[in-house]
Amino acid sequence: MPNLLPKFRKPEFSAKKRRVKRALTIYDLRNAAKSCTPTPAFDYTDGAAEDEISLQRARDAYRNVEFQPNVLRDVSQLDTAVDLFGKASAFPLGIAPTGFTRMMNTEGEVAGSRAAAKFGIPFCLSTMGTTSIEDVMQAAPTGRNMFQLYMWKDREKSMALVDRAAKAGVDTLMLTVDVPVAGARLRDVRNGLTVPPTLTLKTMLNAAPRVGWWWNFLTKPKLEFASLGEWPGTVAELIDSMFDPTIDYQDLKWIREYWSGNLVVKGIQTVEDAKLAFDHGADAIMLSNHGGRQLDRAPVPLYQLQETVKAVGKDKPIHIDTGIMHGADVVTALAHGAKFAWVGRAYLYGLMAGGQLGAERSLEILTNQMSRTMRLLGVSNVAELEPKHVKFLQ
């Protein structure tokens, strides 16, 4: 007879482990992150541009679907692996480039790259990252580490970063093209966000109860951009000061000629630009409105997928980000033609909640949700996902 007597759960004395273990969804991790992270750092991750309509619409798009499951299919064996530029990724999911990362948690990009390596998926380091290219490669030497590039007005310094990435062993460059000027991220403006954070009475009072974050901030290496150093102004002022608003398709062609590795163009929002990006040398494009952080009321990437696939052809790899908070969202995107999906906030919520442990928990949640959704759809292989499996509700 089975033992039906109740079992007592062993107490967990680590607050971090308790937070992470209790989280069953990305939104649980978000709540945990909010409880232990000062408002300026949390809002930098959580917020978007202006009225935050772009972000909300992107998330609503993934809710506005209905799955069409097939039954009586053998789903005992599941294959979630995909080819990403000639190498296998265990899931069609990657950690997107995020700036200021060590402000969320001092483990920062090191935690993200190690978590990604553990799950067999790629990690992309941002130009605005707070860990150097070399340190990320050293932290996760067996991982698939990529580098994201913003073109600065100083082209020589921009390409020096590209050279460093190539020398360090990076095989994929992600060029972000939707930031000619800074979006109006009003939460950051109201919080007076700088790097390192400006300590006012208000920010100190807000941070005081978050003892873990405060202690790490004071005792770990100084927070600064790995590629830039400190910046006394706001994020928007930095972007407008350094980023090049003149970049055009001839520059993309020039970068293609300069960079010998794989090139992803991130920030595509129209069919016209999707075609032009491929015509000028992109190996893949990413449909993205920058997580709603640039142009408010921008197109919803998920709604652009099928039209873009039809226009450029199924052989052209289309990646997607923005609004992905559940493994079922990844399945939805793949069914409508995406080859790969990237998450930023979903991973950062885990990072804020528990460093590398939290980052791993976010990936565990997403990959488990994705695998379960595929099985319940009657799909045993990523390649089997088709538009028939997911329909948009009217």
Show the 3-state SS of the chain.
CCCCCCCCCCCCCCHHHHHHHHCCCHHHHHHHHHHHCCHHHHHHHHCCCCCCHHHHHHHHHHHCEEECCCCCCCCCCCECCEEECCEEECCCEEECCCCCHHHHCCCHHHHHHHHHHHHCCEEEECCCCCCCHHHHHHHCCCCEEEEEECCECCHHHHHHHHHHHHHHCCCEEEEECCCCCCCCCHHHHHHCCCECCCCCHHHHHHHCCCHHHHHHHHHCCCCCECCCECECCCHHHHHHHHECCCCCHHHHHHHHHHCCCEEEEEEECCHHHHHHHHHCCCCEEEECCHHHCCCCCCCCHHHHHHHHHHHHCCCCCEEECCCCCCHHHHHHHHHCCCCEEEECHHHHHHHHHHHHHHHHHHHHHHHHHHHHHHHHCCCCEHHHCCHHHEEECC
Question: Is 307 part of a structural domain of the chain?
Answer: yes
The arithmetic mean of pLDDT across residues 244-263, rounded, is: 95
**By the 8 A CB rule, do 172 and 261 touch?**
yes
The arithmetic mean of pLDDT across residues 209-213, rounded, is: 66
DSSP lists the bridge partners of residue 319 as: 286, 340
Q: How far apart are CA 273 and CA 136, in angstroms?
A: 32
Q: Residue 141 above 60 pLDDT?
A: yes
Tokens 């050279």 correspond to 163
110: tokens are 């090191």
Question: Is 5 part of a structural domain of the chain?
Answer: no
Q: Are strands 122-125 and 144-149 parallel, antiparallel or unpaired?
A: parallel
Q: Give the pLDDT confidence score for residue 240 in this predicted structure.
A: 78
**By the 8 A CB rule, do 152 and 159 touch?**
no
Q: Residue 219 above 80 pLDDT?
A: no
> Of 280, 290, 336, 389, which is the active-site residue?
290
Other CB atoms within 10 A of residue 101 CB = 28
Q: Residue 220 above 80 pLDDT?
A: no
Instruction: Give the residue from 362, 331, 342, 245 showing the smallest Cα distance to 287.
Output: 342
**By the 8 A CB rule, do 125 and 136 touch?**
yes
Interval 32-65: pLDDT, tens: 999 999 898 899 999 999 999 999 999 999 999 9
Tokens 């798009």 correspond to 61
Lowest mean pLDDT among 7-21, 40-54, 337-351: 7-21
pLDDT-above-70 percentage for the chain: 86
Q: Residue 336 above 80 pLDDT?
A: yes
The arithmetic mean of pLDDT across residues 294-318, rounded, is: 97
Q: Residue 212 above 80 pLDDT?
A: no
Question: Is 7 part of a structural domain of the chain?
Answer: no
Q: Give the pLDDT confidence score for residue 208 in this predicted structure.
A: 60
Q: Give the pLDDT confidence score for residue 4 in this predicted structure.
A: 63
Question: Is 16 part of a structural domain of the chain?
Answer: no
Instruction: Give the residue from 163, 257, 244, 273 showing the smallest Cα distance to 265.
Output: 273
**Alpha carbon distance, N-terminus to C-terminus of the chain:** 52
Q: What is the CATH number of the domain that holds 123?
A: 3.20.20.70
pLDDT band at 1 (very low <50, low <70, confident <90, very high): low
Question: Is 323 part of a structural domain of the chain?
Answer: yes
Q: Is 336 one of the annotated active-site residues of the chain?
A: no
Question: Is 28 part of a structural domain of the chain?
Answer: no
Question: Is 22 part of a structural domain of the chain?
Answer: no
Q: Residue 231 above 60 pLDDT?
A: no
Q: Residue 268 above 90 pLDDT?
A: yes
One-letter amino acid of 75: V
Question: Is 33 part of a structural domain of the chain?
Answer: no
Domains in the chain: how many in total?
1
Domain range enclosing 87? 61-392
